Structure 1
Amino acid sequence: MRKRALAICVAAVLLLATACGGGSEKTTGADGKQLDKVTLMLNWYPYGEHAPFYYGKAKGIYAKHGIDLTIQAGQGSQKTVQATGAAQVDFGWADTPALLAAVGQGMKVKSVGVFLQTTPSSVQFFAEKNIKTPADLKGKKIASTAGDALSKTFPALLKAVGLSDSDVSLQNTDAAGKMAAVLSGQTDALLGYATDQGPTIQEKAGKPVSYLRYADLGLNFYSNGLLASERVLSEKKELTQRMVTASSEAWTAASADQPGAVDAMTGASEQLPSKAVLTEQFAKTLELLHTDLTQGKAPGVNTAADWQKTIDVFATAGIIQKPQAPSAYWDAAFEVKG
């Protein structure tokens, strides 16, 4: 009885250690290789931007680095950052502004590499609206979601192009409502990501969508990237490095095989956009991988200077109240070399 009780006690301790991040669950690959089970939570339901993760899994890139990857849909960057910071998932894929805000609130989470280094933030509208320059936005009604990064930085965009807040009218709605407002003609435009809503409403309406991109108008900042809790970063350093390296390789490979990357998403979600929309979403995503400082570098390579620019933008916009050094938000130790 004493031996049995001791065995139960030891098993309980081992189970607790695993639950607290002391180890990774293992699986066996097709070649007999031991793999670490890893969960990645996306920022939203799967769409074209996420193709490299599915491609990397399908082509065995993650398995090559000893990772059995499970990709999980998200419900917004804020929730993904929260789940990742609480170590409910191993890694997250989320928008940098949500990460900055979370760290400012004391959450123990950091980026291990932003991949979308040019923001997809844009004003989107049907081409028939004949909006060619920022000045053409005067008097227009624009759908937005109060409190998100797009709406909070929009005043800075207006200022950069010589307009004032009173020159446009913002209509507050949720993410899905923005597309409905433009499709129904209730608004002239919406604030959204060129990698997401634009291709979708273009297909639904059967007419072309045009964009005024924040970055093209002089306001750029970091967007989506990989992140992990500080607990994962400290307790699973070697696994984290493998995840960053594998993800960079997956993005490089997917960039060279865009049709294959889109095909790899088949069956990823019941809400998955059409193949045509996925193709355009992914093509637009690939335009966002670098800044002037990272041209020619591998996907996911960041610089402290670009981080500082992003921090400055969101400090000015009021998204972060007490801006800190880049190292408070980004752990450069895991950056892929290249």
Structure 2
Amino acid sequence: MTRPRPLGPRDDLADSVRVVGEFGVIARVLARSGSAAVAQVGPGDDAAVLRVPDGRVVATTDVLVEGRHFRRDWSSAEDVGHKAAAANLADVAAMGGVATALLVGLACPADTATTWLEGVAAGMAAECAPLGAAVVGGDTVASAPDSGSVVLSVTALGDLGGRAPVLRSGARPGDVLAVTGRLGWSACGLAVLRRGFSSPLAVVTAHRRPTPPYAAGPAAADAGATAMCDVSDGLLADAGHLASDSGVVLDVDRAALVRATLEPPGPLQQVAAALGADPLAWVLTGGEDHALLATFPPSVALPDGWLAVGRVEEGEPGVFVSGEPAADVAVAVGAGRTGHVHFG
């Protein structure tokens, strides 16, 4: 499989941001951005105007920095667009909402190819389209001359559709802990890319373009989920946030988690065998799949796609795996820590 070629000074400077100019870039990007169903006034003015049927707006922001969140020699422009949009759209779903619009801030070197930026816009549009969302505005600036990196700051807006927002702070002792979506696939794909390979394609693609279960968030809210969060930094790490905010203990059932994520055997076990790794390390601590983690009252039937993987208990807030402290389990499976640590 051919890797996307890095962009830089070697590219056609006639197509660069420096030559095309800010408004030329904006025009090209907007031509690929699609339209948002809620937009009364779309891109092009000082600000967009959106209809808010629910009367409340869900808002969330993520920043993606080249070299930390993506590499242009590993991912195509469309991949980067999909990934940047997905990271934000998943956060809206984790509140029980449906994303309606994106605002995008872009900082890039002056020699960045406009065709690359068009690809990013196309990837974002494709990720948003099934939800009826689109980019409705933003800003473009030149990055620091000595950085040479692209930075994308994406803000997602969403609608709750009359539902109460599902917070991280609502889990109660006796609740069922459940997950939906992939776990460990993006981390596995990253491990493959770091070793200079591009297969199995399934896990590499999972790293380049995560597939969050967007519809599962509102479905969980409708079913009575008591707490929910997006798994972006790792299952154990994000479970720790939920446990802390709710003041409870989360005990992940190791056997149930393995059944939910590693059976039947697939590419994670294939890669782990080749690398001498434990696939459970990726499942427990790998981020950027943007699965959803939630708690439900025991009397509630879990919505389609949700699988029970543990329980909520009383006690000093923390996370355990079949009774063992999460940090100890992370070390035992070779992960070292429970998930991604910003500034770590």
**Same fold at TM > 0.5:** no
TM-score norm. by structure 2 comes to 0.22
User: Between Structure 1 and Structure 2, which shows a larger proportion of helix residues?
Assistant: 1
| TM-score, with length taken from structure 1 | 0.22
More strand by share: 2
